[in-house]
Amino acid sequence: MRRLDLAETPLREVNAALQVPVSGETSWEIVNPRGAHALAVGLDAPIDVGIRGSAGYYCAGMNKQATVHVHGSVGPGVAENMMSGTVIVEGDASQYAGATGHGGLLAIKGNASSRCGVSMKGIDIVVHGDIGHSSAFMAQTGNLVVLGDAGDALGDSIYEARLFVRGSVRSLGADCVQKEMRPEHLELLARLLDRAGADARPEEFKRYGSARRLYNFDVDNATSY
């Protein structure tokens, strides 16, 4: 394991070391992150990165392959546009967690704020706590699992992403409806919960998704757009 200290090493050097890992080094620890923005972004190797503390905006942004484990909380846009790999946050996450993510797994052990999974494009997000309002806005594909409650306007203008919520949903956004939980969904959910280390039973969840009423313009739906 190699340790990088952000109190001594500039962000650029830390990210450069992680982006082009010296041969053989697969395990990294970052200490004193002190809320640094854009930390561990653009990684593209099957390495493990532990962040000892809290990070700022866009932690692990555009991640590919790497496993980034934050032992603290994160600011807005954690794992934004993630392609693959795993990002685990022990604490809470601010707005836009997993925004536009294409793949990989984002597991948040605490709560996530508003717009969690906004425009998601294939990523799997599992939030152990609650999520804020306007989450999964325009969510395209992928899965969002919430063990706690969801705020207002969940899944507004959603496309084909699947939303699973165990707790209450304050309100559903335009074109988002509760859907039948079929065996394949229970199976999928069981796998996701397992991968995210979440202690919950799939049967406890409700599934939400697109009613597909806004996919094509209809003048009678004009007020919903």
Partner 1 sequence: MAEDTKNQPPRTPPIQSATFTNAVNAEIRRAAATGIYDIRGGGAKRAVPHFDDLLFLGASISRYPLEGYRERCGTDVVLGGRFAKKPVKLDIPVTIAGMSFGALSGPAKEALGRGASAVGTSTTTGDGGMTEEERGHSKTLVYQYLPSRYGMNPDDLRRADAIEVVVGQGAKPGGGGMLLGQKISDRVAEMRDLPQGVDQRSACRHPDWTGPDDLEIKILELREITGWEKPIYVKVGGARPYYDTALAAKAGADVVVLDGMQGGTAATQDVFIEHVGLPTLACIRPAVDALQDMRLHRKVQLVVSGGIRNGADVAKALALGADAVSIGTAALIALGDNDPRWEEEYRKLGTTAGAYDDWHEGRDPAGITTQDPELAARFDPELGGRRLANYLRVLTLEAQTIARACGKSHVRNLEPEDLCALTVEAAAMARVPLAGTSWVPGQTML
**One of 1, 7, 12, 24 touching partner 1 (CB under 8 A):** 12
Amino acid at 8: E
Give the residue from 50, 47, 10, 4 showing the smallest Cα distance to 25. Answer: 47
Give the residue from 93, 134, 125 showing the smallest Cα distance to 111. Answer: 93
Print the binding letters for residues 109-148 with partner 1: x by CB under 8 A, - otherwise: ------x--xx-xx--------------xx-xx-------
Helix ranges (H only) for the chain are 11-19, 183-195
The residues pairing with 125 across neighbouring beta strands, listed in sequence order, are 106, 144
41 binds partner 1 (CB under 8 A): yes
222 binds partner 1 (CB under 8 A): yes
159 binds partner 1 (CB under 8 A): yes
Beta carbon nearer to partner 1, 96 or 164: 96
Beta carbon nearer to partner 1, 82 or 105: 82
64 binds partner 1 (CB under 8 A): yes
Minimum CB separation of residue 63 from partner 1 in Å reads: 9
183 binds partner 1 (CB under 8 A): no
Beta carbon nearer to partner 1, 118 or 193: 118
Q: Using CA atoms, how far apart are residues 36 and 12, in angstroms rounded to an integer?
A: 11
**One of 6, 28, 54, 58 touching partner 1 (CB under 8 A):** 58
Half-sphere exposure at residue 6, Cβ-oriented, CA atoms within 13 angstroms: 26
217 binds partner 1 (CB under 8 A): yes
189 vs 65, 84, 94, 165, CA distance in Å? 22, 19, 24, 11
Contact (Cβ atoms closer than 8 angstroms) between residue 217 and residue 210:
no
38 binds partner 1 (CB under 8 A): yes
85 vs 42, 49, 192, CA distance in Å? 12, 11, 14
Minimum CB separation of residue 197 from partner 1 in Å reads: 26
**One of 160, 187, 203, 204 touching partner 1 (CB under 8 A):** 160
Q: Where are the beta strands (DSSP E) in the chain?
A: 2-5, 27-31, 48-52, 67-70, 86-89, 105-108, 121-127, 141-146, 162-165, 176-179, 206-210
Footprint on this chain of partner 1 (rule: CB under 8 A): 11-12, 15-16, 19, 37-38, 41-42, 44, 56-58, 61-62, 64, 76-77, 80-81, 83, 95-96, 99-100, 102, 115, 118-119, 121-122, 137-138, 140-141, 157, 159-160, 214-217, 219, 222, 225
